[in-house]
Amino acid sequence: MSENNVGSVSAPLHAIFSNQSDQPSNNVLGRIRFGNQLDLSGGENEPPLLTVPMMNSVQKEFLESWVGGTSIKYGLHDELAFAENGEFLFIAATLLESSEYAKAAESCYRKIFSLVEHLGYPRLFRIWNYIGHILTPLPSGLQVYQDFAKGRAHAFMRSGGTPIMPAATGIGTNGDGIGIIVLSSRTGITKHIENPRQKPAYEYPRKYGPKPPSFARATALTQRINPTECAQFLFVSGTASIVGHESVHPGDFTRQLSTTLDNLESLVDGSNLTHFGAHGHFTLKDAHLMKVYVKYASDIEEARQKIRHRVGINTDVQYINVDICRDELLVEIEVVFPCIKVATER
């Protein structure tokens, strides 16, 4: 491929933030409701709907809908709700509250990988893990997130071949249990991207848990849309104030937010994308959708003010008050960038 012809393109898959009254009704693969309790519905004759308990009395519920394709099939399989359109697969799952999550997480992820293989969508490109009581110690001495990460890592290691770890978010919720969303593709090329300012998460030292987190900092998915052009998606994982593998500026929200935004800019810079075989050059001004997770509600207004000056006028930003995956982290941000077109080489 050549980057001589790069521009926006109508995405064959895209996400929309909305409230309940103006949610899209056509061509919906699946939805996530940021609400008040964990629940999974749909999957037989309607889109899967995962509700995650991330709102409170001050924040309004909202929906994230993934839309694309016309011939969508919905189904239920082995406690998973899914939707497929011939090119993309959306999977939703839940884990009940427990005093131990590693075995349940491994089992759930192995079911997901089995369904991905069975239906023929081998290219994982985005995962979300919404984790209740994420920092709570369990009887084993591990925090919930560390125990969950252990089971997830075992599933990746046992999935056959070299583990392919896509962009992902592991974030706290305000309720019980765990919700999981997986997006995968039938065709195309995935490029998993790391950040020059950060150590790959899957190489973190043992002090963060018995198994390191299983994700890439971002994933670019490129698909052919006609004989001469391809479309590239860019999905950025939850990103925090981590340099190398260390959390920086503990207790200082302002500096953590600044470092987080700088990490994002470094990740999507053109030279870094090119290094990992992806296309384009982005800044936060180009962001399409952004979710900002803030540990303390009192910091949300500062985040709004600072982020307003870093993103574009068309960037849709949602702010959510939940715990981050380390005790000392105060903010985490994930981003979806617009789909771009790239001319194929002749």
Q: What CATH number corresponds to the domain at position 317?
A: 3.30.1330.40
* Angstrom distance (rounded) from CA 86 to CA 70: 10
Alpha-helical regions (H) of 26-174: 102-119, 144-157
Residue 313 lies in a domain: yes
Say which amino acid occupies 30: G
Give me the pLDDT at residue 7, please. Answer: 45
Q: Which of 130, 125, 119 is nearest to 85 (CA)?
A: 119
List, in sequence order, every residue forming a beta bridge with 231; answer none if it has no partner: 223, 341
Residue 1 lies in a domain: no
Q: How confident is the model at residue 258 (pLDDT cuts 50, 70, 90)?
A: very high
Q: Which of 259, 241, 232, 213 is nearest to 328 (CA)?
A: 241
* Angstrom distance (rounded) from CA 220 to CA 339: 10
Secondary structure of 196-225 in the HEC alphabet? CCECCHHHCCHHHCCCCCCCECEEEEEEEE
Return the ∠ at Cα 37 (arms to 32 and 43), rounded to 5°. Answer: 45
DSSP label at residue 76: E
**What residue numbers bound the domain in which 139 lies?**
6-343
Residue 140 predicted with pLDDT over 70:
yes
Q: Which of 285, 284, 295, 172 is nearest to 236 (CA)?
A: 284
Calculate mean pLDDT across residues 260-270. 98
Q: How confident is the model at residue 341 (pLDDT cuts 50, 70, 90)?
A: confident
Residue 325 predicted with pLDDT over 50:
yes
* Angstrom distance (rounded) from CA 309 to CA 187: 37
Are 260 and 152 in contact, with CB atoms under 8 Å apart? Answer: no
Alpha-helical regions (H) of the chain: 102-119, 144-157, 253-268, 270-275, 300-308
Phi, psi of 265 (to 5 degrees): -60, -40
Overall domain count for the chain: 1
Q: How confident is the model at residue 70 (pLDDT cuts 50, 70, 90)?
A: confident
Catalytic residues: 332
H or E segment to which residue 284 belongs:
none
Give me the pLDDT at residue 164, please. Answer: 76
* Angstrom distance (rounded) from CA 92 to CA 94: 7
Calculate mean pLDDT across residues 201-206. 93
Tell me: the pLDDT tens digits for 108-118?
999 999 999 99
Q: What contacts 301, CB < 8 A, 6 or more positions away? A: none
Torsion, Cα 299 301 302 307, to 10 degrees, reads 120
* Angstrom distance (rounded) from CA 159 to CA 109: 9
Q: How confident is the model at residue 26 (pLDDT cuts 50, 70, 90)?
A: confident
Tell me the pLDDT of the chain averaged across its residues. Answer: 92
Are 326 and 233 in contact, with CB atoms under 8 Å apart? Answer: no
The answer to pTM > 0.85 is yes
Give me the pLDDT at residue 343, please. Answer: 72
Q: Which of 239, 191, 179, 240 is nearest to 219 (CA)?
A: 191
